Amino acid sequence: MAECAHTWNMTNRQFGFAVFERCSHCRIIRAYYAEQDSWDDYKEGEHHWSIVENAQTFRFDLECEECGMYVSYDDFLGLLYCTSCLDDCPVEILRKKYEEDNTWILVGFGFLPESSANPYSAEKLEVLSEYFNQRRDTSRSRVKILPNSLIDKLSLCRGDFIHDVGMLSLEPPEERKPLF
Amino acid sequence: MTTQELTDLLGLKALSTFEPREITGVFISDMLSDVMAGAKSGNLWITVQTHKNIVPAANLVDASAVIVTNGKQVPEETIELANKHDIAILWTESQTFELVGRLYSLGLATQ
């Protein structure tokens, strides 16, 4: 039987929040998807979590309409676009390289801090790239989603997540505070 | 109809430089997540959002143009990013409702 070329559809869409919080003791940043936003500080073991940002986002899965293959993204935080903040960052180097082929680079993040140690599955990011390319006119340009492990100085990264920030206000902030 | 033809027909102000593209339909939302989930390639995206993040969102879903309505001022950094990615940012003082009526009368609708 021939291998399926896959035609991906987005399914199981749920709108919620990407929550970014920081521990005031160890300064570690934690980010995850939640159905409800939250602004309250709270203690959890040795950590004392304070909200850095709530952004509206959505979660989804992908399913191949040909073979039924199902890929879950319930541990996916979002897509970050490179703002060319560091010349020597591997993402910036790849961004310049891919730009020559009209390919636009994005960085896929799983929840933090888990995906700092174990980058988001390269296979799932490949499927996600394939999905967004199937949605676009690829004769003009393509997208390529890279794993966040390529960002070697996350604390200095000024890339921006494609999230809805400040949507509870009529006037979103002009400048988003650095997350990392 | 192309983005350039639409710009001329409706007297929209082009804030960024762009290559004209065929318009496939219209998508209206002020949420990036909505757009990422539902807009289709070649769609016109109508919004009052002006933050620079509209550019990567429009780019990701391959929108043919973003039309900013209600005369909302668009920051320079949004325009610069749009120029870099060949994303058409069009601007009008019209309210979204009025603009949508005009688009509908031109035969454009949700894809």
Range of the domain at B49: 3-105
Tokens 């888990």 appear where? A114
Give A26 to chain B, closest Cα distance, Å: 31
Q: Give pLDDT, residue B110.
A: 83
Predicted pLDDT of residue A116 = 82
Task: Decide if pLDDT at A170 tops 80.
Answer: no
* Contact assignment for B60 to A106 by CB distance below 8 Å: yes
Closest A-chain CA to B53: A162
pLDDT at A171 over 70: no
pLDDT at residue A175 is higher than 70: no
Q: Of the candidates A142, A128, A133, A80, which has an alpha carbon nearest to the alpha carbon of residue A107?
A: A80
Q: For residues B59 and A56, what is the distance between their CA atoms, to the nearest angstrom?
A: 19
> For chain B, how many structural domains are there in total?
1
Is the Cβ of A134 closer than 8 Å to some Cβ of chain B?
Answer: no
Q: How confident is the model at residue A115 (pLDDT cuts 50, 70, 90)?
A: confident
Write out residues in chain B with pLDDT < 70, as ranges: 111
Cβ-based contacts under 8 A for chains A and B: 58
Flag whether pLDDT at A117 surpasses 80: yes
| pLDDT confidence of residue A68 | 97
What's the whole-number average pLDDT of chain A?
89
pLDDT class of A178 with cuts at 50, 70, 90:
low
Beta-carbon contacts of residue A11 (< 8 Å; ≥ 6 apart): A60, A61, A62, A63
Here the tokens at position B28 are 């209206």
- Binary contact (A135, B40; C-beta < 8 A): yes
For residue B32, is it within any domain? yes
| Whether pLDDT at A179 is above 80 | no
How far apart, in whole angstroms, are the C-alpha atoms of residue B96 and residue B104? 12
State the CATH number of the domain containing residue B71.
3.40.1390.20
User: Residue B90 corresponds to which amino acid?
Assistant: L
Model pLDDT for residues A124-158, shown as the tens digit of each residue: 999 999 999 999 999 999 999 999 999 877 888 88
CB contact under 8 A, A60 and B61: no
**Stronger pLDDT, B78 or A167, i.e. the higher one:** B78
- Region A33-49: what's the mean pLDDT? 90
In a domain, B110, yes or no: no
Residue B111 in any domain: the answer is: no
- How far A136 CA lies from chain B's nearest CA (Å)? 5
Rounded CA gap, A15 and A1, in Å?
Answer: 38
Cβ separation A58–B33 shorter than 8 A? yes
In a domain? residue B74: yes
- Token digits for B69? 């309505």
pTM attached to this predicted model: 0.90
- How confident is the model at residue A73, as a pLDDT? 97
At residue A167, the pLDDT reads 58
DSSP bridge pairs for B65: B44
The answer to whether the CB atoms of B41 and A162 lie below 8 A apart is: no
| pLDDT at site A135 | 95
Distance (Å, whole) CA B1 – CA B8 = 11
A contacts of B61 (beta carbons < 8 Å) = 132, 135-136
CB contact under 8 A, A160 and B41: no
Say if residues A10 and A66 touch (Cβ distance below 8 Å).
no
